[in-house]
Structure 1
Amino acid sequence: MVSVPYYVTVWSCPRTIIIRQMLAVRHGFLDGHSFAHLLRSCNTHCSIQQGKQIHLLFLKTGLDSSLFFGNCLLQMYARCGHLNDARHLFDEMPLRNSFSWNTLIEAYLKQGEKENSLDLFNSMPHKNIFSWNTVIAGFTKCGDLKLASKLFDEMPLRNATAWNSMIHGYIRHGQPQEGLRLFKKLNFDPVESSRVDNFVLATISSACANLEILDCGKQVHTRIVVNAVELDSVLGCSLVNMYGKCGDLDSASRILDLMLDPDEYSLSALISGYANCGRWVDARRVFDGSNNPSVVLWNSMIAGCVANNRGKEALELFNRMRSDGIWADPSTFASVMSACSILHMLENGRQMHGHACKVGVVNDVIVASTLVDMYSKCGCLEDACKFFDQLEEFDMILLNSMINVYSSCGRIRDAKRVFEIMPCRSLISWNSMIVGYSHNSCVFEALELLCEMHRLDLRMDEVSMASLISISANICSLKLGEQIFARATTVGLESNDIICTSLINLYCKCGNVEDGQRLFDEMRKFSEVPWNSMLMGYATNGYGIEALKLFQEMRTAGVSPNDITFLGVLSACGHCGLVEEGMRWFFAMKNDYHIEPMVEHYSVMIDMFARAGFLEEAVDFIDRMPFETDASMLSSLLRGCTAFGNESLGRKVAEQLIDLDPDNSAAYVQLSSIYANRGEWERSEEVRKMMQERRIRKSPGRSWVDD
């Protein structure tokens, strides 16, 4: 029996317009090269059927046995994303060359199938420069820098493309120091130093910009001058950007003057540099001095507004841009969405969402990421989730954002699902998942993730360590927290402010306030965060006077309090019974510090009134506050009614609490006790029966003792 090729048995050609082309081939009007041209036009998933029809024509005309046309078909299936079909075709090709192997390897990498691409590369009989460049670039793009580095070291003859891929890969994935180290290695090797070209120099300039190391950037610039390297638009733009980000804007301006014909990207880099340094007038001067500014320059100005928290001005510029007839691109939408996020302007954000749908850019991954961020910052987490469910393409930034969104609204399983489907995970991905587990009290899952990071030999930073110490604090496990801090010490993070602050929180939550205070006194305090942590530690452990003294020290040190600071201060006043002091600081928040009290501040104030027996004041505070009453406020008031014997008010509060939170066992117990104390035994029994009918049980008290 004669075996039939795979592609003949699977495909059949329907009667379509392509029949005309079949007739043209049959009569000699179209040759094979014309069909090769047609194949190149089949470059999306939607055009796969046309590609298959052309493939069938190749079979009928005998062109399929040609290496050239076989490679054209292979490219078509790769571009359309049909890798199984591409692999079957590759396996059955009678002739293959390096181009055939490279095409399939590159296709696997683009689809995130790293193992298949590596297996195919390892089995390749003759690897050329392009083969090595393809796998190195592919693995650096997906973040597998360890494997990319191994392949780079094994590469027999490295060229500028390989060096640039590795340097750029390190910089792109948050390891600019490694990129600089590799560049130094390139310079010290007399053979390899000849590989340095404009793109390598531009890439390393970007690394200096990201790290804001001006001296290193100046050394790169010196090499450009000494070697008389032509200052093209790419290199010039990278130097302007480097000087701009490092704050040397005069040098950035001089570089721009040296360029014969500075393009819009160089002007954009200078505008961004001025804007990022707060020199808004200079940024405006460069923008206004350009003739017919393109969308790139408009984007720089709008992004500059966002960077300087000028959200309203960003929206005004966007409207001016539209009035001038400039079409917005994905970057424009991303910046305007960010402006809506800053201003918490949900309706404007929704309008931009609709506009993005209308012009067809809503599926752009950058626009999608900023849309998700806008909805989440405006408090519409479910809208962010619904929008994400409609998307077909994602990048790492978007997926990281969704891990945070799902975690914030308690959908930790969905967050885990996103984490697991990520083809490549950055350190931010791992940290986002650990933080998500921490916020959702998934202690053991977070620790399992830590063990997995350790097994994979992944680098952990201060965010990873601080999150794990916070988890230890939430379960009051001092021993576990100190073990994690020991791990932080081994990687040189023992003096990190974020980790030390988390450790203060751990000590205080475990009741070890003295050690928390000792660590607080020893550490450098550059922001309000460590002050807040210690202040809250004092307050929650009943050290109200100490908390208020610390608050005074904080203001004396010139550190501005924020909303969290005042939560600690009000809590301390509540624990000490300092009602007048608490009221004074509550009103000072808005009047003196321009901080709008949130629902948490009102809740603490109600608790303070209830603890001190100021029950009528607490009720009045609830009636006047601009928020809906929640269960925690009513629970505080109910405890106050019970402690001070106000049974009539307690009965009303308990009934409200049951209506608001039917599963709150404490409300039923308190209401039943109130009725019993007043001799209303039947009503007390009715409440008990109601608990039984609703299957509500009193939650037993628990304590955690860490050995």
Structure 2
Amino acid sequence: MNMISRNYRSTPQFSALTSSKVLGPFENPSFDFGGRQEKHVANISADPVILFNNYKRSRQYTISNTRILHAQLLRKGVLFYNTFIARCLLDCYCKCTAMEYALNLFDKIPSGDVVSWNMIISGYNQQARFLESWDFFCRMRSSSCEHDDVTYGSILSACTALQAPILGMLVYSVAMKNGFFSSGHVRSGIIDLLAKNYMFEDALRVFKDVPQEHNVVCWNAVISAAVANGENQAALAYFQQMCHGALMPNSFTFSSVVTACTAVRDLQKGKAVHGWIVKCNSEDIFVGTSLIDLYAKCSDMDGAMKIFMRMPSCNVVSWTAIISGFAQKGDVISAMQIFREMRDSGEEINEYTLTSMLTACSKSSLTTAATQIHGWIIKFGFESYPSVVAALIIVYSKDGDIDSSESLFKEMESFRNSSSWDSMISAFAKNNKFRRAIEVYRIMLREGLSPDMFSMSSVLSVVDTLDLGIQVHSQVIKSGLIHDVSVCSSLFTMYSKCGSLHESYEIFKRLDVKDNLAWASMISGFSEHGHQEEAVQLFIEMLSMGYELDQMTINAILTAIGLLSWARQGKEIHAIILRLGFGGDTIVGSSLVTMYSKCCLLILAKQVFDSLPQRDAITSASLISGYTKNGQIEEAVSLFQEMLKTDFSIDSFSVSPVLGAVTLMNRLDIGMQLHSYVTKLGLDRDASVGSSLVSMYSKCGSIDDCINAFDQITTPDLVGWTAMIMGYARHGKGDNALRMFEHMKTTDITPDPVTFVAVLSACSHNGLVEEGYSLFNSMVNDYGIEPNNRHYACMVDLLGRAGKLKEAERFISDMPFKPNAFVWGTLLAACRVHGDIELGNFAARKVVESEPGDSGAYISLSNIFAGMGQWEDVVNIREFMKGAGARKEPGWSIF
């Protein structure tokens, strides 16, 4: 450009442009072409470079004024024989997005050189008219004009935008053929093209073809490509290689590298890169924003705020990054404060800012603040942004206001996107509206929308029947999400939940890439369905394959170890936890406390509890639960009293196990005091606390208080409904129990095996034989629940109480698996009531075969003989009992 400007400074034809008459149409005083600053204009306009540069910087740089300048140049006759002037005017049209005028001017230029061709291609690219850019390149290929590296770089950018890797590779081949193999424009262009079309390995091969020691552009391209393809560790490795050479990174390099550090949550490396940025003085607004995002997502909000406060100017992305950081930490107060400062500064607020604020509100359950933001959203016209409305749906659903969520969803019918459907399905799922979640999913399919990974995962989380699960599995395959890790994790978790562990494990094994969530889900699936040893084997396999442990996998394996009561293996896992540095983690500590409690090692559980640097309500609740389950009721209540004396916030997790302890103590007085306390805190409406209150009053014999406690629950869950049904059954109110069961089914809550134990018990206590058979068959046919020994025992008890002993015996003989001592003992108890010695003798032998040391069978049979006056048989039973080693525990009384 300097050479061109030197050549044209002495061009006589251009002297005509110094006349104020030529420049007359422009009226801006700072660039006055109207005659008022005629002398000043004459001085600067002798150089065409100065003229056009000043024009581009002026406020009058528009299509209309460019046309006026074009007309004046035509009138003076200097345009078509002065290539430089024509090229500058062409560039003006392109920069003004007037491509039609630019193309007309280009066609009238006698001989368009490569620079002019490149201007047109770049102009089309800037307006995202990439097909026209490609067509113009093809026209250029047909002409006699030579291409340069700028040409190839620009058209490769167009191919990238068009997602046309084949065309791009053809262009690259032509560029290589014409000798541009070492051009940074060309090589960075093809690297970007390949990377954005998921051909990262090919991009690496292009990068390695020629040494890159002196080409920052190509280094930047490959680092950016690695980040875009999720190869963040590779991006950091390439950055280190670049730094070891003679090249100095620039702001584009740093932005990509900081993004890689953020993706892998490596704050230590991020701080090292930050040092490089300071050393190179490259902390511009984009790099600064990337650094804020790094520190915020690594939970170092102090570091993020220092960078934010030090930045000379911030854009909307910077403000949003800092708000998002506070939102992720749940610090809604700080997020709100930053949001107010952003509004006061006059900075533009976009939908990402608003969704970050709504995320903060949802994490802290601050519906009031969310409602205020909702009003601001309506006032400034953001209610038509799908992402904003989707965030509002989540906020309201988190507070249990599912009606508001559904109203918002209905109002956005004309502009719904995938995130809208995801949010609504998730909202129904989290509020136990499983049928509504499935219904919305089906409507989504009927409208021709393909579910994405989020909606599919949400749907799979609520599927609890195998038939429906298989249908959704088919949709997963059809939608091409079968290889997505999160969807497959939800898929095999669904099969685990439905009891199909074989299918679950087969899907898990077929996963090409397994993340820690997948391993943790499969380990939990084995553990929760009675296959704890398989869970441990899977955990060992995970370790042998070199996967790093995290909170999820540690908690999953500790659950399995606790259920197995493997104290030694639990201590080994504890040692691994300490070595990995998770010893101070409250969540892991809570799992350790629970594991040691289930292994009856309460001293170790208490030691872990005392060693935690921070003890929260969840950890305390774990130890309270451990004390309760191991019969140390006084210790459980004492620990809860200690919690009350501290600053711990009492929540449902800490109250529920204490209520369980009180229930075991049968201390209704303490239970009523606790009820008053939780009512004061507003926790009596919580599903878990309410369910514990229902169970306590039920077992303490106060059915009216049981009903009142249930009525206080805002949204009863399955446990609460089951507890209420069991309460009615225990108090002989079978009809009420069945009505409650029917009412539960209308609330989209699906009964589980425990619920059917409750309703079958209600039928048994009230002699409802026909209803019992109907429910037993419904359990299998309608809900796919395979009956276990407890369900069969309930049916045997029902038939036995009705005096149908022979029918009960046939029912047992038809069982698909071997009945245990509990089932035979139930029949034996019925025989004792009805005095059936023969069948009672048979049932007693079956009990003894199953559990030889069970004294109950001997005692029941002895009582049958005693009731019939057959004392000789009573003596024989007692002698036989002694010979078998069975011992009757002596009775005792508190009086």
- Report TM bin, short chain: 0.5 to 0.7
Give the structure 2 partner of residue 375 of structure 1: 697
Query: What displacement does 1:56 show?
Result: 10
Query: What displacement does 1:479 show?
Result: 4.6
Give the structure 2 partner of residue 524 of structure 1: 850
Query: What displacement does 1:144 show?
Result: 3.2
Aligned-partner SS, 1:520: helix
Give the structure 2 partner of residue 163 of structure 1: 488
Partner residue of 2:807 out of 468, 477, 480 = 480
Residues in 1 aligned to 2:650 and 2:374: alpha-carbon distance in whole angstroms: 39
Equivalent residues in 2 for 1:37-116, closer than 5 Å = 54=375, 57=378, 67=386, 80-82=401-403, 85-86=407-408, 88-90=410-412, 93-109=413-429, 110=431, 111-114=433-436, 116=439
Residues in 2 aligned to 1:268 and 1:108: alpha-carbon distance in whole angstroms: 29
2:472 aligned partner, one-letter code: L
Contact 2:536 2:560 in 1 (8 A): no
Give the structure 2 partner of residue 571 of structure 1: none
Aligned-partner SS, 1:285: helix
Aligned-partner SS, 1:206: helix
Partner residue of 1:261 out of 565, 581, 601 = 581
Q: Which runs of 5+ in 1 are unaligned?
A: 1-24, 563-592, 598-625, 627-707
Aligned-partner SS, 1:309: coil
Contact 1:39 1:51 in 2 (8 A): no
Is 2:799 aligned against 1:502?
no
Give the structure 1 partner of residue 443 of structure 2: 120
Equivalent residues in 2 for 1:541-552, closer than 5 Å = 541-552=868-879
Contact 1:77 1:85 in 2 (8 A): no
Residue 387 and residue 228 in structure 1: after superposition, are their counterparts in 2 closer, same or farther (change >3 A)?
A: same
Contact 2:655 2:689 in 1 (8 A): yes
Residue 405 and residue 236 in structure 1: after superposition, are their counterparts in 2 closer, same or farther (change >3 A)?
A: same
Contact 2:505 2:522 in 1 (8 A): no
Residue 464 and residue 100 in structure 1: after superposition, are their counterparts in 2 closer, same or farther (change >3 A)?
A: same
Residue 478 and residue 254 in structure 1: after superposition, are their counterparts in 2 closer, same or farther (change >3 A)?
A: closer
Is 2:732 aligned against 1:410?
yes
Is 2:708 aligned against 1:389?
no
Aligned-partner SS, 2:488: helix
Contact 2:687 2:714 in 1 (8 A): no
Residue 503 and residue 237 in structure 1: after superposition, are their counterparts in 2 closer, same or farther (change >3 A)?
A: same
Partner residue of 2:460 out of 136, 144, 147 = 136
Residues in 2 aligned to 1:170 and 1:542: alpha-carbon distance in whole angstroms: 56
Residues in 1 aligned to 2:347 and 2:516: alpha-carbon distance in whole angstroms: 47
Is 2:751 aligned against 1:433?
no
Partner residue of 1:280 out of 584, 588, 602 = 602
Query: What displacement does 1:594 show?
Result: 4.6
Higher relative contact order (CA 8 A, sep 6+): 1
Aligned-partner SS, 2:850: coil
Query: What displacement does 1:404 show?
Result: 0.8
Residues in 2 aligned to 1:406 and 1:172: alpha-carbon distance in whole angstroms: 28
Residue 534 and residue 165 in structure 1: after superposition, are their counterparts in 2 closer, same or farther (change >3 A)?
A: farther
2:546 aligned partner, one-letter code: A
Contact 1:106 1:138 in 2 (8 A): no
Residue 442 and residue 201 in structure 1: after superposition, are their counterparts in 2 closer, same or farther (change >3 A)?
A: same
Give the structure 2 partner of residue 184 of structure 1: 505
Normalising by the residue count of structure 1, what TM-score does the alignment of the two structures yield? 0.66
Residues in 1 aligned to 2:395 and 2:595: alpha-carbon distance in whole angstroms: 43
Equivalent residues in 2 for 1:294-443, closer than 5 Å = 294-422=616-744, 423-443=749-769
Residues in 2 aligned to 1:495 and 1:346: alpha-carbon distance in whole angstroms: 37
Residues in 2 aligned to 1:277 and 1:73: alpha-carbon distance in whole angstroms: 45
Residues in 1 aligned to 2:627 and 2:378: alpha-carbon distance in whole angstroms: 57
1:152 aligned partner, one-letter code: H
Contact 2:508 2:522 in 1 (8 A): no
Contact 1:213 1:246 in 2 (8 A): no
2:490 aligned partner, one-letter code: S
Partner residue of 1:467 out of 779, 789, 794 = 794
Residues in 2 aligned to 1:471 and 1:327: alpha-carbon distance in whole angstroms: 46
Query: What displacement does 1:405 show?
Result: 0.5
Contact 1:477 1:510 in 2 (8 A): no
Residue 554 and residue 333 in structure 1: after superposition, are their counterparts in 2 closer, same or farther (change >3 A)?
A: farther
Residues in 1 aligned to 2:646 and 2:832: alpha-carbon distance in whole angstroms: 59
Residue 171 and residue 377 in structure 1: after superposition, are their counterparts in 2 closer, same or farther (change >3 A)?
A: farther
Residue 30 and residue 540 in structure 1: after superposition, are their counterparts in 2 closer, same or farther (change >3 A)?
A: farther
Aligned-partner SS, 2:684: coil
Give the structure 2 partner of residue 250 of structure 1: 568
Residue 118 and residue 553 in structure 1: after superposition, are their counterparts in 2 closer, same or farther (change >3 A)?
A: farther
Give the structure 2 partner of residue 453 of structure 1: 779
Equivalent residues in 2 for 1:17-28, closer than 5 Å = none
Residue 234 and residue 521 in structure 1: after superposition, are their counterparts in 2 closer, same or farther (change >3 A)?
A: same
Aligned-partner SS, 1:495: coil
CA deviations over 1:340-363 (Å, ceiling 9, x no partner)? 122222211222222222233222
Contact 1:504 1:520 in 2 (8 A): yes
Say how many residue pairs are matched: 525
Give the structure 2 partner of residue 225 of structure 1: 543
CA deviations over 1:113-154 (Å, ceiling 9, x no partner)? 345234314314132222322211122xxx334412431244
Residues in 1 aligned to 2:613 and 2:888: alpha-carbon distance in whole angstroms: 46
Residue 62 and residue 137 in structure 1: after superposition, are their counterparts in 2 closer, same or farther (change >3 A)?
A: same
Aligned-partner SS, 2:547: coil
Aligned-partner SS, 2:790: helix
Give the structure 1 partner of residue 837 of structure 2: 513
Give aligned-pair identity as a percent.
20
Contact 1:299 1:331 in 2 (8 A): yes
CA RMSD of aligned residues (A): 3.7
CA deviations over 1:316-369 (Å, ceiling 9, x no partner)? 222334345444332221222222122222211222222222233222222222
Query: What displacement does 1:471 show?
Result: 1.6
CA deviations over 1:389-439 (Å, ceiling 9, x no partner)? 222221111111110101222333332232123221101112210111111
Is 2:475 aligned against 1:150?
no
Residue 41 and residue 485 in structure 1: after superposition, are their counterparts in 2 closer, same or farther (change >3 A)?
A: same
2:445 aligned partner, one-letter code: N
2:443 aligned partner, one-letter code: L
Residues in 1 aligned to 2:654 and 2:842: alpha-carbon distance in whole angstroms: 49
Residues in 2 aligned to 1:454 and 1:463: alpha-carbon distance in whole angstroms: 15
1:469 aligned partner, one-letter code: V
Contact 1:108 1:116 in 2 (8 A): no
- Larger CA deviation: 147-156 vs 45-54: 45-54
1:81 aligned partner, one-letter code: I
Residues in 1 aligned to 2:596 and 2:393: alpha-carbon distance in whole angstroms: 49
Residues in 2 aligned to 1:65 and 1:310: alpha-carbon distance in whole angstroms: 58
Give the structure 1 partner of residue 46 of structure 2: none
2:465 aligned partner, one-letter code: D
Q: Which runs of 5+ in 2 are unaligned?
A: 1-342
Residues in 1 aligned to 2:625 and 2:738: alpha-carbon distance in whole angstroms: 32
Aligned-partner SS, 2:762: helix
Residues in 2 aligned to 1:281 and 1:50: alpha-carbon distance in whole angstroms: 48
